[in-house]
Amino acid sequence: MDNNNQVKNKILWLSIVQGWAILLVVIGHVNGFTYANPADPLEMYPLSYWVHRLIYAFHMPLFMFVSGGLLYYSRLNRGWHTPALYKDKLKRLFIPYLFFIAFAFIVKAPIAGISKRGMDVSLHGFLQAYFDPGNGPLSEMWFIGTLMWLMLMYPLYKVVLKSGYMEVLLLLVTLVPFVVEVPINIKGWFNLQGLMVYTFYFFGGILFFKYDGMRYLSKGLWKPLLLTALFFAAAISGFGGKITSSILGILMSFGWAIRVADRWPKLFRSFRDHSFQIFLVAIFPQMLIELVVWKRFHSENYELPFYIISVSAALGLGVLVSLLTSRIKTPFFRWIFGHK
């Protein structure tokens, strides 16, 4: 394979993984609650239960792994200086963070009394939503908060990547929270506690891309098949803890991506290039459908249609918003929606 084909194939499998990752996030936001058990308001119908169990076994570690890999591929590998990286992430992460938490607060305030989590609609509650996004009106913003902390560590990555010994040391340090079960409860601070869980996957993604980990997965159909079997076994049984199912799920996803890149290069093409915009806006139609439709007509027989409607609405709105906002010429309004 010549160099041009290698680059093209790399872009294809990476795009497919991005599409797969955001699809898992959207599916994971579909909640087939039964509303039948006051003692357990999160009780779900069987399909939703198993979908959640499998997806939540690895989907956010996958998202962080991809984010770390993209940081290496598009920034670290190209020698970006720290001030330039901070300026870029200020525009593309912090501004959307500010806007969408405020937007969610305004949208959810009138219905705070009937929402399943409730909400503090005072000024204190508004400010607290920024400080502690995971418990705010748009809890999905915990991801952006943690991602901002991970980006702040950019100078550390630049230093560590100069030495293989330092890379191993940092990777081992990020494993400590999984090995030593010391209860650490850091509330707020833009979800600083997320670093305890996700630095391992983020930095793992950096190293995976630096050392071209895909070369170990690119040949042999037996590899993704084996990884898939092991993932399901770990996710269902709980063997090895969540870190085991997360690693297997990540490798499974990359293994299948490289396998399908040549045969189905257009897989997820309709939405895979709009991942961040989908992440920002998709939850809103999903919350509306859950509140207005599912809560009224919920039934085990309607689970599959509910998934199809919710996921289609989320992806469709995300792509539409991405396409429309990409045409805006005012930089600030483009930054709100994560565009350059």
Q: What is the pLDDT of residues 104-128, one digit of tens each?
A: 888 887 766 656 566 677 777 788 8
Answer yes or no: do 83 and 191 share one domain.
Answer: yes
The band of 58, judged by pLDDT with boundaries at 50, 70 and 90, is very high
pLDDT at 133: 86
Answer yes or no: do 37 and 74 share one domain.
Answer: no
Answer yes or no: do 101 and 188 share one domain.
Answer: yes
Start-end of H helices in 264-302 = 275-281, 283-289, 295-297
**250 within domain boundaries:** no
Domain closes at, from 161, 177, 211: 211
- C-alpha 172/C-alpha 231 separation (Å) is 23
The angle that helices 142-152 and 95-108 make with each other, rounded to 10 degrees, is: 160
Residue 26 contacts residue 271 (beta carbons within 8 Å):
no
Which range marks the domain in which residue 115 is found?
Answer: 66-211
The residue length of the chain stands at 340
CB atoms within 10 A of CB 328: 14
**202 within domain boundaries:** yes
**233 within domain boundaries:** no
Answer yes or no: do 34 and 147 share one domain.
Answer: no
Answer yes or no: do 28 and 112 share one domain.
Answer: no
DSSP annotation of 218 reads: S
Domain closes at, from 211, 231, 260: 211
3-state secondary structure of 63: helix
CB atoms within 10 A of CB 200: 26
Answer yes or no: do 198 and 70 share one domain.
Answer: yes
- C-alpha 161/C-alpha 167 separation (Å) is 6
- C-alpha 56/C-alpha 49 separation (Å) is 10
| AA identity, residue 138 | L
CB atoms within 10 A of CB 307: 17
Q: What is the pLDDT of residues 246-302, one digit of tens each?
A: 999 999 999 999 999 888 999 999 999 999 999 999 999 998 999 889 988 888 899
Q: Which two tokens stand for residue 194?
A: 């997320």
Answer yes or no: do 14 and 88 share one domain.
Answer: no
Q: Which two tokens stand for residue 263?
A: 């045969």
Residue 178 contacts residue 241 (beta carbons within 8 Å):
yes
Q: Tell me the pTM.
A: 0.90
Backbone angles phi, psi at 44, to 5 degrees: -120, 160
What is the number of H-type helices and E-type strands within the chain? 17, 0
Residue 186 contacts residue 131 (beta carbons within 8 Å):
no
Domain closes at, from 211, 234, 261: 211
Mean pLDDT (whole number) for 226-251: 94
Mean pLDDT (whole number) for 47-56: 94
Domain count, the chain: 2
**222 within domain boundaries:** no
Q: For the purposes of burial, counting CB atoms within 10 Å of the CB of 109, is it exposed (0-12), middle (13-18) or buried (19 or more)?
A: middle
Answer yes or no: do 132 and 18 share one domain.
Answer: no
Torsion of CA 318, 321, 324, 329, to 10 degrees: -120
pLDDT at 308: 95
Residue 119 contacts residue 107 (beta carbons within 8 Å):
no
Q: What is the pLDDT of residues 65-88, one digit of tens each?
A: 999 999 999 899 998 999 999 999
